[in-house]
Structure 1
Amino acid sequence: MTKLFFKYNRIVISALHRLKYSTVPKTDSKLSINGTEFVTDDYTNVTPKILSYLNRNLHLDKGNPLSMVRQRIVNYFYSSFTHRGSPDFSVYDNLSPIVSTKQNFDDLLIPLDHPSRVKSDCYYVNRSTLLRAHMTAHQSELLRSGLDNFLMIGPVYRRDEIDSTHFPIFHQVDAVRSQRRDQLFPKNEDLELFEPTFDPTKPHTFTNSISDPTKQSCHTLEATKLIEHQLKDHLLGLIKVLFGDIKYRWVDAYFPFTHPSWELEIYYNNNWLEVLGCGVVRNEILAKAGPNNSIAYAFGLGLERLAMALYKIPDIRLMWSNDSGFLSQFQNKDLNAKITYKPVSVYPQCTNDISFWLPGHLSIDTFMSNDFYDLVRDVGGDIVEQVKLKDKFEHPKSKKHSLCYSIVYRHLERTLTQAEVNRVHKEIETAAISAFNVVIR
């Protein structure tokens, strides 16, 4: 495995740097992903390492803790919402992770200047295409197909820091539940979803405001409060199925695609843990998707966060492990079994620092750490446990800027030698010089 790892990096590293870090548009270059060719450009920053994870689908891998949590969530919605013996909710858990910027941002009312759009946070295939950053990217297309209640489940991709709780791919469950007036108010024909000033047959003639923190201007207060009550009641039911009777709190939040919005936190292991975000779907999204005669709620949660809390899993990388010592603790187990992960063995860490001077056009404030983290992931792979910015320095005379990162290496399945760690670390140094034009200190 180690020989293949080094061979892989020697083959891809030069191509990776040319593709990923160049600011020159490469309209003549193409990238093949899952059998489809995409033209690359100055926004292309998806890496071979990230693409190698595309078809793993851990949420569908029976015996993986992520799949167990996914199935428990699906079972809850199947059993809690039925109509004439059939589940109200449909499940979509194998949607293509390659989406357009329209799907990922525009359809969800995410402003052009929103920080979630920047290259340092997303994996772009090109300017108009990326690996989805959230499962909500599929919300509008499913609404347009006529669906009212659905779960969207799958991996999402975000450039992020490196530590025991962060990985560039994690798995989300997003959901939408919409209701017409007769469904929301079955026993009271006097109550309405919309204010008299709003004409649901002409939604584009009305400017929907979210200046009122309690509701959208198109909705009545009664409709908003009832859908809020349903949303919170349904989600608390889910959390109690997973964690039992637990202390919780609702926190006001902001999301571009819902209003009002909340986050749910639970008191777990003597700390408040955020487990999901939710809210009332912005009416503009529903209006663009089809007949504007309903109100809806939506929520999103991360499977890794829930699984790590439920099963006491200390490192997010373990979810991707093929080690039988890890997987056997979850295979052929009852979904509702109380499982506490037991480390098979703890292999020692190796820590190496890397310090470098930035080129003149970059400073401590303008250098993107996420770019460096991505490079470390590509070269070091899954043996990199954590990367921390250790020190910043500005030379008093030359005014040059220097950064020092501490890189912690640990293999999940065997002991690393310092010699092989040093070889990987040297590859990272070489890659950083090529990619960022830095000078190693």
Structure 2
Amino acid sequence: MNFFSFFSQNFDDVLVPADHISRSYNDTYYVDSGTVLRCHTSAHQAELLRDGHTHFLVTGDVYRRDSIDSTHYPVFHQVFWAPIFCNLLTFFSSFVFRLLKHSFIYSYVKMQMEGFRVFSPKEWEASGLDGTSYAAEDLKKCLEGLARHLFGAVEMRWIDAYFPFTNPSFELEIYFQEKWMEVLGCGVTEQEILRNNGQLDSVAWAFGLGLERLAMVLFDIPDIRLFWTTDERFTSQFTKGKMGIKFKPFSKFPPCYKDMSFWINESFTENNLCEVVRGVAGDLAEEVQLIDNFTNKKGMTSHCYRIAYRSMERSLTDEEINELQRKVREQVETKLNVELR
């Protein structure tokens, strides 16, 4: 499926409100007024439902204007999984196993589904839950089992979330490198999406999982930028189809920090700042962090950002870093219309 997505596919078909921030130029890469680089693989679900598919898994690259840090990158790979349950009485057909046969979750799904007992009417009735609540509980149990299957005895937690296309919605976080990291978003599919696309009297749940973050936890990879390096010290550590490998860090070159302060305007957003920094420094920008802000007596607000520059492959010279920072300051002032301090 094309990574170019019609505006209607990416937003309207999945019930994204007209005023939702994801529609803005601040969050999404626009090709033209009617086409964007897809923000999520769930953009294809309405199309697939209309074509009569009731169980599908979509894997592809997605694009977002986002923060600069160790877990965010403007392009990443996402798996979207959406099983549809007719009247809560049926589950996976053999088609699903063919679909998942070569995927990273196949072994877990096969193991879980061999009993063919999910959504038992008696269990549903005994639970005392309505269909949506029962589906949500089943979703959590399935994904918790998947996480344990992949990561072992890992610490995890559920966070209540909001997605326009699911209700209720959740995020699953894994404790990684001494902090919580979101690895997937999920929820019970909005009935309006199902009805609009020919799935009457059905219930569905869905999840979207970022493959880079999954691999970071599986292989102890500390920085998402490493997935885009061609350095053999990284690529030679991994073999296709071989699991259980833990990344062995090679020489880590020192970071260099540069601070930049400016008076912001009403149109300023941090995502736009990160796009400017990334446009100048590329993957040499490791992190952009707000370290201070204040508002003066005239009501003007100042932000101070710290930019960490670091190459994954070599030491950067002072001359290189100073030139990068000069260009960043110049572009920030010009493109974001802010006043440098």
Do Structure 1 and Structure 2 share a fold, with TM-score over 0.5?
A: yes
Task: State the match for 2:303 in structure 1.
Answer: 403
CA 263–432 in structure 1, closer or farther in 2 if over 3 Å, else same = closer
Give the SS at the match of 2:90. helix
Task: State the match for 1:160 in structure 2.
Answer: 66
Tell me how far 1:116 sits from its aligned partner. Answer: 2.3
Describe the superposition over 1:16-38 as per-residue Cα deviations: whole angstroms up to 9, x where unpaired: xxxxxxxxxxxxxxxxxxxxxxx
Within-5 A mapping of 1:84-123 = 95-123=1-29
The amino acid that maps onto 1:435 is: K
Provide the alpha-carbon RMSD of the alignment: 2.8
CA distance, structure 2, for counterparts of residue 227 and residue 439 of structure 1? 52
Give the SS at the match of 1:236. helix
Within-5 A mapping of 1:390-429 = 390-396=291-297, 400-429=300-329
Tell me how far 1:140 sits from its aligned partner. Answer: 0.6
Tell me how far 1:249 sits from its aligned partner. Answer: 4.2
TM-score, scaled relative to structure 2? 0.81
The amino acid that maps onto 1:384 is: A
CA 339–114 in structure 1, closer or farther in 2 if over 3 Å, else same = same
Q: Are residue 183 (structure 1) and residue 90 (structure 2) matched?
A: yes
Task: State the match for 2:281 in structure 1.
Answer: 380
The amino acid that maps onto 1:286 is: L
CA distance, structure 1, for counterparts of residue 284 and residue 156 of structure 2? 36
CA distance, structure 2, for counterparts of residue 249 and residue 439 of structure 1? 42
Task: State the match for 2:102 in structure 1.
Answer: none
CA distance, structure 1, for counterparts of residue 331 and residue 160 of structure 2? 43
CA 150–396 in structure 1, closer or farther in 2 if over 3 Å, else same = same
Q: Pick from 183, 192, 213: which aligns with 1:305?
A: 213
Give the SS at the match of 1:433. helix
CA 404–261 in structure 1, closer or farther in 2 if over 3 Å, else same = closer
The amino acid that maps onto 2:274 is: Y
TM-score, scaled relative to structure 1? 0.64
Tell me how far 1:349 sits from its aligned partner. Answer: 1.3
Asked if the contact 2:49–2:199 (Cα under 8 Å) also holds between the matched residues in 1, the reply is no
Tell me how far 1:148 sits from its aligned partner. Answer: 1.0
Describe the superposition over 1:267-314 as per-residue Cα deviations: whole angstroms up to 9, x where unpaired: 556655443222221121111112424321111111122211221111
CA 274–163 in structure 1, closer or farther in 2 if over 3 Å, else same = closer
CA distance, structure 2, for counterparts of residue 409 and residue 229 of structure 1? 44
Asked if the contact 2:10–2:38 (Cα under 8 Å) also holds between the matched residues in 1, the reply is yes
The amino acid that maps onto 1:303 is: L
Asked if the contact 2:66–2:274 (Cα under 8 Å) also holds between the matched residues in 1, the reply is yes
Unaligned runs of 5+ in 1: 1-94, 193-219
CA distance, structure 2, for counterparts of residue 291 and residue 395 of structure 1? 56
CA distance, structure 1, for counterparts of residue 313 and residue 152 of structure 2? 33
Describe the superposition over 1:65-94 as per-residue Cα deviations: whole angstroms up to 9, x where unpaired: xxxxxxxxxxxxxxxxxxxxxxxxxxxxxx
Task: State the match for 1:171 in structure 2.
Answer: 77
Q: Are residue 353 (structure 1) and residue 262 (structure 2) matched?
A: no
Task: State the match for 1:240 in structure 2.
Answer: 148
Asked if the contact 2:28–2:37 (Cα under 8 Å) also holds between the matched residues in 1, the reply is yes
The amino acid that maps onto 1:322 is: T
Task: State the match for 1:133 in structure 2.
Answer: 39
How many pairs were matched up?
Answer: 309
Task: State the match for 2:53 in structure 1.
Answer: 147
Task: State the match for 1:314 in structure 2.
Answer: 222
Could you tell me the percent identity over the aligned residues?
48
The amino acid that maps onto 1:147 is: H
CA 424–292 in structure 1, closer or farther in 2 if over 3 Å, else same = same
CA 227–388 in structure 1, closer or farther in 2 if over 3 Å, else same = closer
CA 228–326 in structure 1, closer or farther in 2 if over 3 Å, else same = same
Q: Pick from 253, 260, 263: which aligns with 2:168?
A: 260
Give the SS at the match of 1:408. strand
Task: State the match for 2:107 in structure 1.
Answer: none
CA distance, structure 2, for counterparts of residue 346 and residue 144 of structure 1? 50
Asked if the contact 2:56–2:83 (Cα under 8 Å) also holds between the matched residues in 1, the reply is yes
